[in-house]
Structure 1
Amino acid sequence: MNAEIFELTFADRLLRGSHATTGERVRLTLEGETFTIGIGSEARPAAAAGSGGAGSGAILAPMPGVVAEVRVAPGDTVEAGQVVVVLESMKLFTSLSAGIGGVVTDIAYQQGDTVQAGKRVLLIEPSSRS
């Protein structure tokens, strides 16, 4: 699990922390305190039922935010771990990576769009390996 470092300003204070995602859990460390947040099936939209977990082709927004960057287009081939979308929430930029290798089949949000937590941002059709 690789932690990403971030800084955010809240109530005129600069806060430093880190976050890391493993499967359906996010570990957030902020000002020396660590929190673990589970993102379970209740956070998944109906359109992504049965997907969004480890090994799924659904990329879900882990928090509400604004799409800062979409790094792929429909039809692009991606590898597992490749950053496909960058989401901004409260001046925190979070890279969303492909959980599997495959072909991008749907992009539900574009740069500048607001996304609610748990919504499917992107869908990847798994590669068929024979």
Structure 2
Amino acid sequence: MIFQPVTSSAVLDELMGKPYLIVFFPKVTVNRCLGFRHEIDDLCWHLVSENLPNYTALRQGWVTYLQTTRKVKVSHGVAFFKCGVLKMEMEGFDLAKFKETLKKFDPHNPNDPPEPAAKKKGCCECVVV
């Protein structure tokens, strides 16, 4: 599995160059990120079972960077991927249960990222959870 922290725009460029990438960004402070990672285990292992191990986690600052400079569509703090690439691989995954798990985790955290101001055409599609 690849869990590569994004520490610079060069690292982000490298990740964006991969044929597929799923990104999780914490809805909590950095200190509580491990708890969030536990909540996404089911999705991570589903992707690993489909031999799609490229994923990473972003801090809030990088989410803002993606939205403003890359025009990436991000929604509700969980995941996006290159246009259409992972749709088939998501089949069989209980997305509804995953949504409920995240809601129970911390539904009103003040560190949640803001919703995108407008839907913009971007390089990625968003899994809306």
More helix by share: 2
Give the alignment's TM-score, normalised by structure 1. Answer: 0.27
Larger-gyration structure (1/2): 1
Q: Which has the higher contact order (CA 8 A, sep 6+)?
A: 2
More strand by share: 1
